[in-house]
Amino acid sequence: MEETINLGLIGFGTIGSGVVATLDKNMHLIEDKVQKKVKLKKIVDLDITTDRGVDVDPEVLSTNVDDILEDDEIDIIIELVGGYQPALNFILKAMENGKHVVTANKALLAKHWQEIIDCALKNHVRICFEASVGGGIPLLAPLNDGLAANNIETVYGIINGTANYILTKMDDAGLDFDVVLKEAQLMGYAEQDPTFDIEGHDTAQKLIILSILGFGVYVSQKNFHVEGITKIKPDDIKFAREELNSVVKLLAIAQVDEDGELEIRVHPTLVPQTHLLASVNDVFNAVYIVGDIVGPVLMYGQGAGMMPTASAVVADCIDIMQDMDSSVAYGPSKSRVKKIKDMSNVESKYYLRITALDKPGVLHSLSGILSDLNISIESVSQRKVDQTDAVPIFMVTHHALEKNVQKAIELIDKLDFVKEETMIIRLL
């Protein structure tokens, strides 16, 4: 093993520290796999004084990113800065200088995908990003390579640990969303500003990447429906479990029909307890994929965290080191997707929670609105809380068009006896 492959790490935070720890612990294993010497030559971060809990030679540390980008001996750059800038400039400059890149930056990939891929192809280098979706779960490489003989028909994903933890604890303990969110923040499962996770944006960015690899098409987040979990109440979760034998999950959905129309969306979904995804709880992630040849495949594991994510980052480095001379284009060479389905034309069954005064004629008025919009009711249940209070009315519809349901909710919420905004959850 005379040849040495040099790595440069930009970003020495939590994940970066995990990468260093992984290299220290398993370097002999890595070198055996690639049959070359491997060296972490330089680590760049704005803060090189804080103890990260790993042993690093001070000579390896720098605050100047050009010590990596302009070093001709460094073959692979690991970008773990996060965000859009300066991460984008770092990645583009690295590739222009002939260096392969490994990143976990889902936000950057989701926004600047084509620019990054074009730069990689132009400069005959590889960009790998297994850690960007599903943390430590081997997911993107199997989707791109292991399932390459398939037309991917469906992708369902539980791919945000924060949202999944909150929904799991609401289900287990019957607690309100705000209570569980505070608990998740105290335990480090949710950021102090959790908007990105609880409103579905993190899930949406990951779904963009999954759709590129699965269906060969880039869809900007502004072009598909994204909805978070902040309006879910314990009543919704309890009714789903007791009456519908289902659980509430924040689900990423992408599926293509026989006509080449891609349906892509993120929102809370009622998942039957018989479905494999229903048992994915707490901070765990899972992606359920259906290929036309292989059928259903489930990939499950820890979707975040220092060491699981570091595992995926180092695996990407190994993949590159085993084939240093190739550049890779991701997704099918020609996508069979001809059109992105507008959310208004999505068809689903719907759960409705309507909070209304308990008085004669209420159900008649509600059913009349739904009937006028070709929405058929499968079941209805009313739970009396207090004689003087508004009560929740739970309805489940047969399959209906999204635009008709949205119009119905608009009309229902204007009724004087309806006292809260109506909640809708789509069924899987």
Residues known to be catalytic: 206
What is the DSSP code string of 299-338?
EEEE-SSHHHHHHHHHHHHHHHHT-TT-----S-SS----
**Whether 424 contacts 269, CB under 8 Å:** no
Q: Which of 362, 419, 417 is nearest to 395 (CA)?
A: 362
Mention every residue, 6+ apart, whose C-beta is less than 8 A from residue 181: 166, 190, 194, 198
Q: Mutual orientation of helices 106-122 and 87-96 as an angle, nearest 10°? A: 20
**What is the signed CA dihedral for 357, 359, 360, 364, rounded to 10 degrees?**
10
Residue 42 to residues 104, 164, 310, 422, Cα–Cα distance (Å): 19, 37, 17, 55
112 vs 303: CA distance, rounded Å: 23
Rounded Cα gap, residues 229 and 249, in angstroms:
9
Cα–Cα nearest to 287, from 134, 394, 170? 134
Q: How far apart are the first and last CA of the chain?
A: 53
